[in-house]
Every structure is written in structure tokens, then in C-alpha cells.
Structure 1
């Protein structure tokens, strides 16, 4: 196996200056893209519908291989049945060997279409994986060995969700996988098309791209294998097939996005090893809160709420149960939260840096008010010191011992949460909403600007858990990317940039728009939407 070197001749002083420049660029981007009560971050001003990017990447003239479909209605075909949603947090399902069937299902239950929606005048697709504005910037590529029924040789492919198929970009010479990688494995790589989200959200879109990417990690929380730290030269010799389709007639370039994307690239760290911690089950305080839904039913039927009804109430035990599944370390008797032991946070392979400020609106048995979930308890003393001195930091009544949830201040936060989330009713009309508060500049200082996207990756995984939990207990949820950054910090008493709000979320009873009709995911209409 030949490895190409990405290292270059650079002095220690030049490296320090480069790191400083990247750090400053990242902080500048984050500050520049904040929303304020008096001014929003720069956006397109209006939506140019004639140039909306095609949501489906295709490679023209690349061979397309159709994958197997697995409708939920046919789940009885699986030997041993499909596990209930709540059970996968207690023990991991047994792994499957790689076959045409298991390979197909992997993509069907993570990246495929889940439905089509139509009003009669317009039609659009939904996917298993959520995305800000349903814009889906993320593309998936696969490097795999020969798989019976799929390919007689190893291959590099692009996943086409509309077709639920693989576009074969190149064939890999025989023996390559045997020399380079462990048996019974394949690789999935993600790339993102910035323009798909920048078309709507402008310069702030770079933040949303990270969230969307890590929601996929929430699905694909499987053991990651060691791979070479530098590119394998043989890939440059492959015969590549297919040309990418044109996504829109015109393309607006947001320079700050591309400049910052360079600043946050992770450098090559020689000798770095990826260690997957042992699995730890999550805590249980109200298993009866969950509907009798299989994990596939929850994953494929999850939907993002457009409006909340303002009346649905959940019991505090259900609220506590949802939050127990939001903890990175699971239920470990006597140990602090912080390490990524629980599903799906094991996919992150680093300590938690994200907490949650919760606005509780409609939870029976729990007073309305502002609460805080400490997801890394090593930050507890620092958080308490950084936030308002009048906050009580009381454990709420009936709260499980292993749930680090604290009541900060009682009171009706409905209007406050709406105002903070760009005056959106959905933030106050649910059962609860929250802001995800990251341990920000100290993390960037200690590790590098490359941690900036990884902070958003963690908020994306946390958001994915909330999406699935909401559906599993019979309600709904949606992410909120539009919020006033510094006013959130002011409410909490946070000053400076040690802690920053990165993403908001709301959970509650959805309003169903009866004017919209659902259609099956496959076969879908012959449109790109």
C-alpha cells in the first residue's frame, strides 16, 4: 500500500501563526453570522426560485445499480423481528455481515427518501435524515469490497437517494481491500454542497451544514475502523466514471463560507488513533412512555413539525426519559457525565462539549421555567460561576439521580422563548424548547479551529436524538436555526465567548396540515424536488 504525504515544510513559528489565523477567522465568522434583535446575519434577501439548487446529485453516464427496498409493512420478513425503539438504548442489536441485503437496508434506513408530499400544486420529497429547510446539502460516497449480487469487484460509488441506488464511479483492483483493510467492512464518506443551504440562509448556512452532517452520524452510530492517516495513492490511478449534473443555472458564492471552511480543516496528526469506548446503556425512568414502535418505524416515519398546537402536555417522567437518552455517558452508577459511551454519542469519540438550556412550557408535574441539562459534569462549577448568580440550581422533584438536570428559575417562558427564536411561535407552543450551549472558545483554544464544526456535529446528534425521541413518545419536534445569539447569552448571564448558543430545538404536539397529502417514497414522481 502506497501512502502519499500531505505534510509540507513549515517552521514551528509559521505553524503557530497559521493556527492563530485560523482561530481568528473562525471567531470572526461566528461573530459575523450572529442574529441580533436589530440586525440579522447576511442572507440572500429574497429566494431566487429559478436558481434553487437541485436537491439530487447525479453522475451522468455512471452505471446505476438499484438497491433492495425494505418497506416497514414487510418487517416480518426479518428473522428475529425488528427491535423496539427503546430497546436499542439498552443493548446494541447484533451486527450483520455485509451482503447485498444488509448493504441496501443500511442506506434505506439512513439516507433514502421516506415519503413525498403534495398540495396538488407543488410536490416535494422527504428523507429519512432531517435537514435544515429540507435542503439536504450532504452527499454520501462509498468505498466497498466486492459484494455478491452488487458488484464482482471493489468499488467507489455515490448514493442516489431518489433512485435508492449506487452510481458506480470507479472499480477497485482485486486484492486492494485484502491488503489495506479489515475483513467485512466498507466505508462511507460525506461531502456537502454549501450552495444548497446558502441559497436560502446566506452566510449563516455554514453552521447548518454541520448540524445536518452530524444528524447522519446519529443514524450511522457504528464502530469506526482505523484507516490510513494519509491518502492511498492507488485511488489516483482509478478510471473514474460519470460527470456531476448541474445543480442550478447560477451560483452565488459566499466568500466567508469558503474562507472559514479552509480555516476549520483538521490537520494531519501523526500517530492519532480513534478509540471507540465500550457501550453503556442509557438510563430508564419511564419505559412506558414509548409507543410500541420498532426502531425502523421511528426512523422512517419521523417528521419535522411545522407548527405546534400549543395544547399538548407530556408528563414529567416522559420529559425525564427523553433527557436521559440525551446524555452522552448513559447510566453509569456514580460516574460523571461527559464521556461518549451511550448510543448514538459513541459516534463522536470525544468528550461532550454541549449542554442544554431548557424552556419548559407544558410538562405536567413540573413547574414552568428555565432549566439546565449539564451533559459534561466537569463543566458544572464553571457553568454555575459563569451564569446568573440568582439561579437556584435545584434538582426538580422526581428527577432521576443520574440525570444532571437543574431548575434555574421558575416562570412562564413561552413569550421569552418565542422572542429569542426569531419571534417564531413554534418555540413557545410546544411542551418544551431548548438552546444548545457549547463550551466554545476554550475548546477552540485548547484543540484548534477544527473543533468548530465538531461542536455543531454534537448539536446535530443531540437534535437527532430529540427528533426520534419525540416521535417515539407520540409527539413531534423540529430544529430551530434562527435565534438571536447574544440575547440568549444575556438571559443566561453568559458573558464573553466561553459559552455560546449554537442550535435551538422544540418538542411538542404538531399541527397537521390536512391540505398536504402523503405519497409513498418509492416509486416517486418524476421530478427533482
Structure 2
């Protein structure tokens, strides 16, 4: 597929792919706040935060993680920060001749075609039994579960990980997908591990999902007693893996961050599609790296020897898939069941002896190995967690307080018509109630409970297995009825006091006017911060031309120390899940959004007054009115049998 012109490459994240001039505009020295200037430090460079390793473990309830692995993660995170004078290491230009193939195929593996579905509920061709519910209704309650069948499995993939469109301009054509991706590079691959499904497989099986064909590639059949021994009826598993090379081709060392953003986007995309079918989703996070590798058949890849420094050359082994996680999909309302991880892990390790079908296709002729990516991936490999894991939590509604802001679109219309905005118009405004409604759906614990926000029980966060660790610092630009300025959404209220102490003493920490009582949103400072938001997001206008933008701030080093260094990628997964909500909500109300992967890390912390690495900004986002490029033509995702777009 010929590459699109550089200016027209569709963006999942807006990111500078090449190292720009080191001559950059200085950060705004102040912005108006409650009638006075909020002074910022004059020197903002990568040295503005104190060393990450100086903090002690604030919790004494868990063992300290392996110090060498923790040191590698903190080194990677610091090394891949952008600053005003230096960007993280990456290619100086894009090697279009070696752009990775965005489609993994397993050559010689049998292809099992899936069914296609209309996007519009009003289309008379739509099957009544598989019409999609309204998008916003899923946040209140899930519909009755559909039976697991070829039809429902087809719909599940069609609404989560399939192609959503082809785009074309001049001589260039490229595809878009339901799940967003940084730079539209799609490092994420998916697998289904399932009991027998009529018209798909007479035996339990492992298959790779091929989005271009909307088909399953059969990789192996598995023992018939595997699912009955460990899971109730009507359950199946979804495995997610990453090909780091696809992302590193464009973004260099920072690619590991972006791959894990995309894992989070995929988790949320799977959760939303499952919810439309009345299914629930949970991470099987007790499994370790080795178990995930065997479960998806990824142990068959040739070993990869990590060099001591970045190296360029022909390295086909660099195209291996890194197993990230596996999700169990089960009917909403299912009775409680536990997973015996030790026994499950033992059964999975026997998958090594299965007959694995198919050889992965080659993605590029030449490669660049950014060694720090692979050393960090090695450091965060999770071991098997022994013991039982409870999976079924009561569904918690996140509520619809201002239903009038939604356009009455089905879940399929929203997820399949979602696009990443490339530009914002700088004019579109939203009502204050609409802004509050979007944020209500960003809460992990939902509404209607006296509990603090902490546990992840609301859609789609309920797929995750840990308490919320990610917050949002919001730059409000164009929200009618809400003063411009800096705000903060606290997604785990156990962190509130720590956040107040860690941030600037000048901040107000007051609930804004009209804010729902159970929405933990706080006004920090008033003032026009459009230019500030732009400069913090690598001088990109898109951060200032929307209705609001934000930085996702994670409870960082204390989490790695208390829960384990393998939480590092999981923090990015959580930002990706939150990002997916921030993609879908604007499309459901008639505007757009995009993730921003390029931002100046420590200057963001300086604005908030954060020191050290107890809190770190991991992902930026912007929401507003999109500017459509009329030069680009849209084509159907699946033009028809025998037609290759």
C-alpha cells in the first residue's frame, strides 16, 4: 500500500515524527488566574523534576519490587520525555520504503470468514435480533446477553477491532479501524480463544483476527476440557498483543508508551462492543507473561537478542508480537465465578505442545531496533499470580443526567463512525451540562453510590482489575457557562489530599457552578490557557482550538512500588481506556476528538506544581469541532466480496 502524503497521514495521536529545530517558543510565563498572574518557573527542562528514584515506598503493605526492573522503567520513562530543548530519540525522517505492513497474516492458516452488519439501525437489511442499542443507554444498563454464535462473534469483532473505512487521496489509500491507534500504525493484534462455535469450528480453538478480511485465522485446536474446567458456559477469551516495530518505525523510543495506549484503546473497544451484545468483560490479570505467550501461540516466534544500542539493519525477529493481556468475555448477569490462576496457568503452559498452524508474514525489509524499548518490555513482564480471582462485579451505572446532548445514535454508529480529528475549528462551543455529562462517563466507579470514586465498576473501566490510578487536568477553552481555566477531575478520591499537597498552593480546588455533587471536578485557576495548552502539547494548535483539552495524570511511582513494576504498561492501558471514552462521547454528541501523544512532560508537571515522579502526565487529549479535509475521499470498509480496496 503506497504511503499517503506526510501531511495527510491520519492521526490517532498528533505527534511530531521527526526531531524539529531546537529553537522553540518559550512557555507562556503566566496565565490569568483569579485576577492575578500565576507565576511559573523560568527554567523548564528535563531537569525540572527531582530524580525519580529518590522516593521511598509510601505504603508498607507490599514487598518492594525488583529494584533493577524498577530502575529500568524509571530510566525509560525519563529518557523518553519530550522537553522544550530536546525531543525523545526517534527517526530523523520517515523511511517510507520500510513502513510496516499494518496487517499481520498467518500464512497457510485456514481463514474463517465472519459476517458483516449495517451501521445504521434504520437500514431495513439490519437483523432485528442483532440491531445495536443506543450508545448512551449502555452506561445505564446492559441489554440481555446474546447467545455466543457465529453471528454474535462476527458482530463483536465488527464493532470493536474491524476496519471502519478506507481513505483515499491522489494515489494513496489507507484504512481506518474501529479501535484508534497512534499515527494509524496499529501495533495491536487480537486473538480469540473459544469453545466450539457452530459454523466456525467444531472444536475449541485459538484464532487470530484478520481485520482487513474480517475473518479468523485458525491457529490451533485446544483440549476439549479446557473451557469446562475453568469457565462457565458462554464464555470466550480475547488475547491482545503488540508489535513494537510498527510503532517504533515512526516514533522511535517513545513507541512503547504508544503501544500501551493502544492496548487500552483496544480493551475499551472490546468492552463497548461486548456491552452492545449484553456481555461483560474482565482482564484475567492473574496470568503472567509466559501464560499469555502460550495462550496466543506467540512462543513460536524466533528469539530476539536485544543489542546494546540502537541498530539499523535487517532484523525479521524484531517483528515478534509481545503478549499484553487476555480478557474473558461472559454474559452480563452471570453468577459469580472465580478463576484458579495456578491451575489455569498450568493448563495453558501445555499449549506449547499444540500443533500451531501458520507462519507470520513479513512486515518490513529493513528495521531499526531501539534497544531501550525491549529492555523495558522485559523489565515489566508480569509473573503468574497464584490464588483465585473473583471476576463478577455488579454493574455500576455511570448515568445520563443530560440526555438531550446525545444525538440518538446506536453504539455501532458511534464506534464505527469515530474518527481522530486532525484539526479543530477554534469556534465550536459546548454547553456546560454537556461537558459535565462527558466527564460523568469518565468516572471509574459510576454513580448512585455513597462510595468514593476509586473502584473501576462502570463501563468500560470495569474491564480493568485495579483501582483507578489516572486523573485528568483539564484546560477549558470553549464551554458555555464555565469560566476558561484549569480544572482537575479526580478519578480516585483516595488521592485527593495527596494531589492538593503535591500541586501549587495557589490552586483553588473548588467545585465549579452547576457541577453534579457526585462529579469530583475542581476548578484550580481561571484564565485563558489556550496558548499554554498549545505549547505544552508540542506547539500543536489542536490542543487550543477545541472546546477543552487535558493531560492524563497518573499516580505513578507509588503505584509501581506498591503494586509491582508490571503496572507501568497498565497505567498506559488505563489512559487508553479513558481516551476511548473521550473519543466516543464527543462523536455521540456530534463533535470530535483526538489523542495527543506529543507533549512536554516535565513542563506539564511544572504547570501543576508537581515535583518528582509521584504523579506523571502520560497522555493528552483534545475535544472540539473538527475541520474536515475535503481532499480526502472516504470509501467503505468492506467494499464487497472479491474487491481489495
Q: Give the TM-score normalised by the residue count of structure 1.
A: 0.94
Shift of 1:79: 2.8
- Give me the whole-angstrom Cα distance separating, in 2, the residues matched to 1:471 and 1:506: 13
Tell me: CA distance 1:253–1:527, structure 2 relative to 1, closer, same or farther (3 Å): farther
Aligned to 1:424: 540
Shift of 1:169: 1.1
Aligned to 1:28: 75
Tell me: CA distance 1:441–1:253, structure 2 relative to 1, closer, same or farther (3 Å): same
- Give me the whole-angstrom Cα distance separating, in 2, the residues matched to 1:80 and 1:521: 20
Do the aligned partners of 2:180 and 2:265 also contact (CA within 8 Å) in 1?
Answer: yes
Q: Give the 3-state SS of the residue equivalent to 1:438 in structure 2.
A: strand
Tell me: CA distance 1:101–1:380, structure 2 relative to 1, closer, same or farther (3 Å): same
Q: Single out whichever of 254-263 and 69-78 deviates more from structure 2.
A: 69-78
Q: Single out whichever of 355-364 and 82-91 deviates more from structure 2.
A: 82-91
Q: Single out whichever of 373-382 and 222-231 deviates more from structure 2.
A: 222-231
Q: Is 1:201 aligned to 2:251, yes or no?
A: yes
- Give me the whole-angstrom Cα distance separating, in 1, the residues matched to 2:450 and 2:86: 46
Aligned to 1:188: 238
Tell me: CA distance 1:192–1:525, structure 2 relative to 1, closer, same or farther (3 Å): farther
Aligned to 2:610: 494
- What stretches of structure 2 of length at least 5 have no aligned partner? 1-62, 272-279, 283-327, 329-338
Aligned to 2:378: 262
Q: Give the 3-state SS of the residue equivalent to 1:273 in structure 2.
A: strand
- Give me the whole-angstrom Cα distance separating, in 2, the residues matched to 1:288 and 1:435: 28
Do the aligned partners of 1:138 and 1:213 also contact (CA within 8 Å) in 2?
Answer: yes
Alignment match of 2:111 (pick from 64, 76, 88): 64
Tell me: CA distance 1:431–1:56, structure 2 relative to 1, closer, same or farther (3 Å): same
- Give me the whole-angstrom Cα distance separating, in 2, the residues matched to 1:272 and 1:452: 23
- Give me the whole-angstrom Cα distance separating, in 2, the residues matched to 1:499 and 1:230: 37
Q: Give the 3-state SS of the residue equivalent to 1:95 in structure 2.
A: coil
Shift of 1:526: 9.0
- Give me the whole-angstrom Cα distance separating, in 2, the residues matched to 1:156 and 1:54: 23
Alignment match of 1:50 (pick from 97, 100, 113): 97
- Give me the whole-angstrom Cα distance separating, in 2, the residues matched to 1:447 and 1:526: 50
Shift of 1:32: 0.4
1:376-395 paired onto structure 2 within 5 Å? 376-395=492-511
Do the aligned partners of 2:192 and 2:209 also contact (CA within 8 Å) in 1?
Answer: yes
Aligned to 2:29: none
1:17-166 paired onto structure 2 within 5 Å? 19-73=66-120, 74=123, 76-79=126-129, 81-166=131-216
Do the aligned partners of 2:397 and 2:447 also contact (CA within 8 Å) in 1?
Answer: yes
Q: Give the 3-state SS of the residue equivalent to 2:164 in structure 1.
A: strand
Do the aligned partners of 2:139 and 2:400 also contact (CA within 8 Å) in 1?
Answer: no
Do the aligned partners of 1:305 and 1:478 also contact (CA within 8 Å) in 2?
Answer: yes
Do the aligned partners of 2:551 and 2:621 also contact (CA within 8 Å) in 1?
Answer: yes
Q: Give the 3-state SS of the residue equivalent to 1:426 in structure 2.
A: helix
Q: Deviations over 1:384-420 (max 9, x none)?
A: 0110001111111111111111110000010000000
Q: Deviations over 1:453-481 (max 9, x none)?
A: 11111100000000000100100000000
Do the aligned partners of 2:117 and 2:126 also contact (CA within 8 Å) in 1?
Answer: no
Shift of 1:65: 1.1
Alignment match of 1:452 (pick from 554, 558, 568): 568
Aligned to 2:460: 344
Aligned to 1:6: none
Tell me: CA distance 1:496–1:528, structure 2 relative to 1, closer, same or farther (3 Å): farther
Q: Is 1:310 aligned to 2:426, yes or no?
A: yes
Shift of 1:337: 0.7
- Give me the whole-angstrom Cα distance separating, in 2, the residues matched to 1:87 and 1:295: 9
Q: Single out whichever of 227-236 and 95-104 deviates more from structure 2.
A: 227-236
1:279-294 paired onto structure 2 within 5 Å? 279-294=395-410
RMSD (CA atoms): 1.9
- Give me the whole-angstrom Cα distance separating, in 2, the residues matched to 1:174 and 1:370: 56
1:475-486 paired onto structure 2 within 5 Å? 475-486=591-602
Tell me: CA distance 1:81–1:111, structure 2 relative to 1, closer, same or farther (3 Å): closer
Do the aligned partners of 1:197 and 1:205 also contact (CA within 8 Å) in 2?
Answer: yes
- Give me the whole-angstrom Cα distance separating, in 2, the residues matched to 1:309 and 1:68: 38
Aligned to 1:10: none
- Give me the whole-angstrom Cα distance separating, in 1, the residues matched to 2:131 and 2:105: 35
Alignment match of 1:463 (pick from 548, 570, 579): 579
1:429-444 paired onto structure 2 within 5 Å? 429-444=545-560
- What stretches of structure 1 of length at least 5 have no aligned partner? 1-15
Shift of 1:525: 11
Do the aligned partners of 2:431 and 2:481 also contact (CA within 8 Å) in 1?
Answer: yes
Tell me: CA distance 1:317–1:100, structure 2 relative to 1, closer, same or farther (3 Å): same
Counting matched residue pairs gives: 515
Q: Give the 3-state SS of the residue equivalent to 2:129 in structure 1.
A: coil
Q: Give the 3-state SS of the residue equivalent to 1:79 in structure 2.
A: helix
Alignment match of 1:363 (pick from 479, 490, 496): 479
Tell me: CA distance 1:526–1:486, structure 2 relative to 1, closer, same or farther (3 Å): farther
Q: Give the 3-state SS of the residue equivalent to 1:232 in structure 2.
A: helix
Do the aligned partners of 2:549 and 2:620 also contact (CA within 8 Å) in 1?
Answer: yes
